[in-house]
Structure 1
Amino acid sequence: MDRVPTLDLRRLDTDRDSFVAELGAAYRRFGFCCFSHHGIEAARIEAAYEDFRRFFALPDAVKRGYARGGGRGYVGFKVETAKTSTIPDLKEFWHVGRDGVPADHPRADILTPNVWPDEPAGFRDNALALYATMEAAGQRVLSAMALDLGLGSGFFAPITDMGNSILRALHYPPVRPEDLPAVRAEAHEDISLITLLVGATESGLEILTRDGTWLPIEAQPGVLVVNVGDMMQRLTNHRYPSTTHRVVNPAGEKATASRYSMPFFLAPNMDYLIRTLPGCIDAAHPDLYPEPITAQAYLEERLREIRLA
């Protein structure tokens, strides 16, 4: 049976050529790759998870008081809807964006200050620490992708240093009979360059393979799952595919338990012009996107499709 490979991210420094080749093969085939030894400490992950669990256990009225929109703060249960569906997903979530953006930054209107709850007490510090370590891990993966694409290893660094990257804390509550036929997350693709996911608390993530079957991605302790987003797919002329994935409802007793996960959506700078990489165009692969688009315009287009804008 097909299996998304797990690679040791330390090999980027010790066995670069083989590592990059294996990473590239995984992304071409699956649009997903998993990594061990990614530098995100288990204690950091658990501290953030514990804060998010405590927050989502608060009364709905309290949580709704932190709903701000604009990619910051709380988004309520059954709000986000996949672009291919009319039924909202069975989830609520919290968005953490880039922190400490200067007031005179040219895109300060988009990179707005974060919203922070009054409780739990350590929420802000733990969330920002996790944001920083996930962004650093993402930059390492991007550097390997750049090498596989025939670019310099630093290609992505200057075009993502002030991107509107988002850490999303997700809570999928227990599934109730009255919620059906809705699912925790309907089949969809992600928007940004790449998405990083540190081990979810329960299984349920599945990806759609090229032969049309659903392949489970089990939540393994200490493993980072990184998938291609639509912006990367567009940039690479589908050399790296943005793979459809979903979170299915559990069966039996597991349906009575919550599921938590913490994806990090690593985005390019908002004014970056997404133009197909020349090295990804040839006679057999003509440019599928002859008209470039800025990252912010593309994001806004996609957010409207999923009812978040």
Structure 2
Amino acid sequence: MNKIPSVNLADFLSNDESRKQKFIKEIGHAYENIGFVALKGHFLDDKLVDELYAEIKNFFDLPTAIKEKYEIPGIGGQRGYVSFGKESAKGKKEGDLKEFWHFGQYVDADSKYAKEYPENVIVEELPKFNEVGKEAYQMLEKTAKFVLRSLALHLGLEETYFDNYIKNGNSILRPIHYPPIKTEPKGAERAAAHGDINLITLLMGAQGKGLQVQNHKGEWIDAIAEPDELMINVGDMLSRHSNNKLKSTIHRVTNPPKEMWGTSRYSIPFFMHPISDMKLDVLENCIDDENPKQFEDITAGEFLDERLKELGLKK
């Protein structure tokens, strides 16, 4: 595969069984072969997208001293602001050339997960920032639910298999700012090659060059979405759970050509995480003589903890 396939969620949501099956087949094939699709027909409307970009640009334009007061110590960067260069890819000592914000789950007050998750951080200077962030979070979570339903059917599971694992799940919406590059980066990239930790990632802002995906031959291919598309990829949790039937693909955000160094780039991934006690044990129906079990049993919470330490976000 040298191109990211495009699918339309409207096919899956239609009452036409043949369209639904076509979607399941297309997304299943893409995730078994390259781990990425471009998705039309999601639940984000243009107005919400425009408002979200306006609000995150307003936030990243704030003076550094104001942004840094929203960098909360002791929570591994799970909520609020993470300053420039703090995060590095697994195995890299150079920090990525980015700063970002985290919106987390909006848990029901009586849920047991209310105590487990840090609270969302409120930006006092921007009255609409948190409200728009919450709405985008919930529309992306809704989109992700239906993508996972299609993948459950592809894997031979009951359609709503993932629903209870993602309700109140530890998902993160991460607006990222890649600032203009001022000096020659020494070994650092906007985002070094990495795989995602979670079940699936829904990415806004993959228009234009920058995001690249590594195919099975080890070649880097450009992943460019249309303005009305989200780029959606498989994360390591889902890859483990499916015994690597669904591929978690290595990807990166390259530095722009020198004449473009003076420009900012914004992207907004939504990392769909399950609740921490979900067992990521390899599914029985993904094991056979040709595909023996590849991964040890582990819960989503244990796996996340392990990976946050590797990324330098948790001690």
Same fold (TM over 0.5): yes
Is 1:62–2:66 an aligned residue pair? yes
Is 1:149–2:138 an aligned residue pair? no
Is 1:85–2:92 an aligned residue pair? yes
Q: Deviations over 1:16-52 (max 9, x none)?
A: 1111111100000101111111121111111111100
In the TM superposition, 1:106-121 aligns within 5 A as: 106-121=112-127
What is the aligned partner in structure 2 of residue 221 from structure 1?
227
Q: Deviations over 1:146-203 (max 9, x none)?
A: 1111111111101110110000010000112253331100000000000001234643
SS in 2 for 1:293: coil
Q: Give the AA of the match of 1:25.
A: H
Q: Deviations over 1:30-76 (max 9, x none)?
A: 01111111121111111111100010011111111001134100001
% identity of equivalent residues:
40
Q: Distance in 2 between matches of 1:146 and 1:306?
A: 29
Contact in 2 for aligned 1:101/1:112 (Cα 8 Å): no
Residue 110 of structure 1: how far off its partner (Å): 2.7
Q: Distance in 2 between matches of 1:75 and 1:281?
A: 40
SS in 1 for 2:243: coil
Is 1:17–2:21 an aligned residue pair? yes
- Runs of 4 or more consecutive aligned structure 1 residues displaced over 3 Å after TM superposition: none
Q: Distance in 2 between matches of 1:152 and 1:241?
A: 21
What is the aligned partner in structure 2 of residue 276 from structure 1?
282
What is the aligned partner in structure 2 of residue 300 from structure 1?
305
Is 1:76–2:83 an aligned residue pair? yes
Q: Distance in 2 between matches of 1:272 and 1:112?
A: 19
Aligned match for 1:176, one of 182, 201, 207: 182
Q: Distance in 1 between matches of 2:141 and 2:239?
A: 20
Q: Distance in 2 between matches of 1:213 and 1:48?
A: 33
Contact in 1 for aligned 2:107/2:113 (Cα 8 Å): no
Q: Give the AA of the match of 2:26.
A: E
In the TM superposition, 1:201-220 aligns within 5 A as: 202-220=208-226
Is 1:28–2:32 an aligned residue pair? yes
In the TM superposition, 1:89-108 aligns within 5 A as: 89-102=96-109, 105-108=111-114
SS in 2 for 1:263: strand
Residue 273 of structure 1: how far off its partner (Å): 1.2
Q: Distance in 2 between matches of 1:83 and 1:234?
A: 18
Is 1:7–2:12 an aligned residue pair? no
Contact in 1 for aligned 2:106/2:168 (Cα 8 Å): no
Q: Give the AA of the match of 1:6.
A: S
Q: Distance in 2 between matches of 1:285 and 1:201?
A: 37
- TM-score normalized by the length of structure 1: 0.96
Q: How many residues align?
A: 307
Is 1:191–2:162 an aligned residue pair? no
Q: Give the AA of the match of 1:49.
A: Y
Is 1:131–2:137 an aligned residue pair? yes
Q: Give the AA of the match of 1:4.
A: I
What is the aligned partner in structure 1 of residue 169 from structure 2?
163
Structure 2 unmatched runs, 5+ = none
Q: Distance in 1 between matches of 2:99 and 2:108?
A: 26
Q: Give the AA of the match of 2:81.
A: Y
Q: Give the AA of the match of 1:166.
A: I
Q: Distance in 2 between matches of 1:101 and 1:67?
A: 25
Aligned match for 2:47, one of 37, 43, 48: 43
Is 1:237–2:243 an aligned residue pair? yes
Q: Pairwise CA RMSD of aligned residues? A: 1.3
SS in 1 for 2:292: coil
Structure 1 unmatched runs, 5+ = none
Q: Distance in 2 between matches of 1:145 and 1:64?
A: 40
- TM-score normalized by the length of structure 2: 0.94
Q: Distance in 1 between matches of 2:134 and 2:66?
A: 22
Q: Distance in 1 between matches of 2:155 and 2:112?
A: 31
